[in-house]
Amino acid sequence: MKYGLEITIRKDGLSLSRPGGGEEEFLPREGVRPADVVAAYRDRKGITDPRLVIFIAEECLFVKKFELPAATADLREAIGYQLALLTPFAEEAMLSGHTATRSGGAFQIMLVAAARQPAETYARQLVEAGYTIVGIFPASQRYVTKGCPKGPWGLVLPGRFHKVLLFNGSRWQDLVLCGGAPDFTELSQICSTATIYHPRPPAGESRFLAPGPLLSHRPLLKEFNLLPASYRKRDYSKMIISGLLALNLAAFLGLAGGKIHQLRALRQQVEAEIAAIMPLVRETNRTRAAVNELTEKIDRLDQLGGNPDLISLLATLTDELPRSAYLEMIRTDKQSRAIVLQGYTDDIATLTTKLQALRGAQLKSTSRRRDQTFFHMEIPSP
């Protein structure tokens, strides 16, 4: 993916660099207007490409690894239900991205989240200034390039707490926090490999690899794009496909035009046949209208006398809901006639999966109450 500039958002400021491991230029965050800073940097470095990438430093990210059942029908929806519970951010105040890897009987989910500000504000200002934002990615994705190893490897990111990122090829698989400077022997056991990169290895430790060869290539940038959809580059592939369809349609109409005289003859024949059967059609329409009227009357009678089979429903709920779940309220909505259930559970992931067994049940909302997850679900009336 081609672009001319990398911007990294840190807690204390911004750093700018050219792709391919160029020297970084750091600027404090206070009083910085990204569009002005980028313009000045591009002038100094002779950069003409208007495309750029925003990275967010690991110190500003929240990373969570968890599992979802393999039977989960919609992973994106299931993860969305749990974002506010799994991260320290409100759902509307965060940027998030995830990967899902199927392993055995479950999906291994790697979730990355960051505060929406100031990243979105920077992106908006840069777009308004005429730049194209390729994406917003975790800073660790700078190291995921064509030069990274094919199998397991690790990356140490120094800081107040050292972070060790575990990869398999280009796929980020886990993160380990270390209270002190990590020991190479211990890390090689944790990472199951001796291929471990460290930008500032301890003095006298030569077994760590320098990450320079990784940074000399452009990042692949295939995962964890946190850029909101409204700032992403317009997808022109759909427009191209629509254009091709229009051309095919025009070609088809051109061929049809060559046989217009045959169509006219056929139209006259069809009109004659329609005129012959119109009396039967009118009679059929009258009969259909009478049947529809009777059907509506029967449906209204069924609605007046019908009641949901609560005993069967409760038996199904007993079998299908997680054992840790219990109901606090069950009622019927007067307008939609849907059955409304409210209760608590300790296992929202299993509850989300079990909804598929309850004839179109929908999880409307979740929240945290009494140190448990309070859920609100509805089951359409049969």
Tell me which of 183, 212, 241 is where a domain ends. 212
Range(s) of the domain holding residue 54: 1-146+217-233
Report whether pLDDT(352) > 70. yes
Instruction: Over range 114-132, report the average pLDDT.
Output: 93
Q: In the numeric block, which tokens belong to residue 204?
A: 């006298």
Q: In the numeric block, which tokens belong to residue 305?
A: 């006398």
Tell me if 201 is assigned to some domain: yes
pLDDT in tens, 158-206: 887 889 999 999 999 999 988 778 889 988 998 889 999 999 998 888 9
Instruction: Over range 9-32, report the average pLDDT.
Output: 85
Instruction: Over range 350-358, report the average pLDDT.
Output: 75
Whether 134 and 162 map to the same domain: the answer is no
At residue 349, φ and ψ (nearest 5 deg) are -65, -45
> Residue 117: is it exposed, middle or buried by C-beta count within 10 angstroms (0-12/13-18/19+)?
exposed
Report whether pLDDT(233) > 70. no
Q: Provide the edge-to-edge strand list for the sheet that holds 132-138.
A: 25-28, 13-17, 5-9, 51-56, 132-138
pLDDT in tens, 305-332: 455 566 777 777 777 777 778 888 888 8
Instruction: Say which CATH number the domain at 318 has.
Output: 3.30.1360
**CA gap 379, 376 in Å, rounded:** 11
Tell me if 64 is assigned to some domain: yes
Report whether pLDDT(72) > 60. yes
Report whether pLDDT(215) > 70. yes
Spell out the residues 6+ positions from residue 241 whose beta carbon is closer than 8 angstroms to its own.
none
Spell out the residues 6+ positions from residue 145 whose beta carbon is closer than 8 angstroms to its own.
214, 215, 216, 217, 218, 219, 220
Whether 2 and 126 map to the same domain: the answer is yes
Point out the least confidently predicted range of 37-41, 111-115, 313-317.
313-317
| C-alpha 150 chain-centroid distance | 26
Whether 286 and 350 map to the same domain: the answer is no
Whether 172 and 207 map to the same domain: the answer is yes
| C-alpha 172 chain-centroid distance | 16
Whether 194 and 114 map to the same domain: the answer is no
Whether 68 and 48 map to the same domain: the answer is yes
Tell me if 26 is assigned to some domain: yes
Q: In the numeric block, which tokens belong to residue 212?
A: 């320079």
**CA gap 284, 342 in Å, rounded:** 49
Alpha helices in the chain (DSSP H): 34-45, 75-86, 119-128, 184-191, 212-215, 237-257, 260-305, 310-320, 348-354
Q: In the numeric block, which tokens belong to residue 292?
A: 């529809």
Instruction: Over range 68-97, report the average pLDDT.
Output: 90
What integer pLDDT is reported at residue 65 of this predicted model?
92
Whether 62 and 97 map to the same domain: the answer is yes
Whether 221 and 84 map to the same domain: the answer is yes
What integer pLDDT is reported at residue 304 of this predicted model?
47
Report whether pLDDT(149) > 90. yes
Whether 4 and 138 map to the same domain: the answer is yes
Q: In the numeric block, which tokens belong to residue 201?
A: 């290895």
Instruction: Say which CATH number the domain at 126 has.
Output: 3.30.420.380
Tell me if 177 is assigned to some domain: yes
**CA gap 72, 350 in Å, rounded:** 9
Provide the b/e sequence for 60-78 (b: ≥16 CB within 10 Å).
bbebbeeebeeebeeeeeb
What integer pLDDT is reported at residue 359 of this predicted model?
67
Provide the residue type at 330 as one letter.
I
At residue 125, φ and ψ (nearest 5 deg) are -65, -40
Q: In the numeric block, which tokens belong to residue 240?
A: 């191209």
What integer pLDDT is reported at residue 307 of this predicted model?
54
Tell me if 241 is assigned to some domain: no
Report whether pLDDT(301) > 60. no
At residue 204, φ and ψ (nearest 5 deg) are 85, -5
154 vs 290, more confident: 154
According to DSSP, the β-strands at 51-56 and 132-138 are parallel
Helix, strand, coil content of the chain in percent (nearest 5) = 40, 30, 30
End-to-end CA distance of the chain: 52
Tell me if 246 is assigned to some domain: no
Report whether pLDDT(126) > 70. yes
Point out the least confidently predicted range of 46-55, 175-184, 228-237, 365-374.
228-237
Q: pTM higher than 0.75, yes or no?
A: no
Tell me if 165 is assigned to some domain: yes
Tell me if 239 is assigned to some domain: no
Report whether pLDDT(235) > 60. no
Whether 45 and 194 map to the same domain: the answer is no
286 vs 134, more confident: 134
Point out the least confidently predicted range of 182-191, 201-210, 211-220, 281-290.
281-290
Whether 127 and 7 map to the same domain: the answer is yes
Point out the least confidently predicted range of 121-135, 238-252, 365-379.
238-252
What integer pLDDT is reported at residue 161 of this predicted model?
82
Whether 89 and 159 map to the same domain: the answer is no
136 vs 239, more confident: 136
Domains: count for the chain? 4
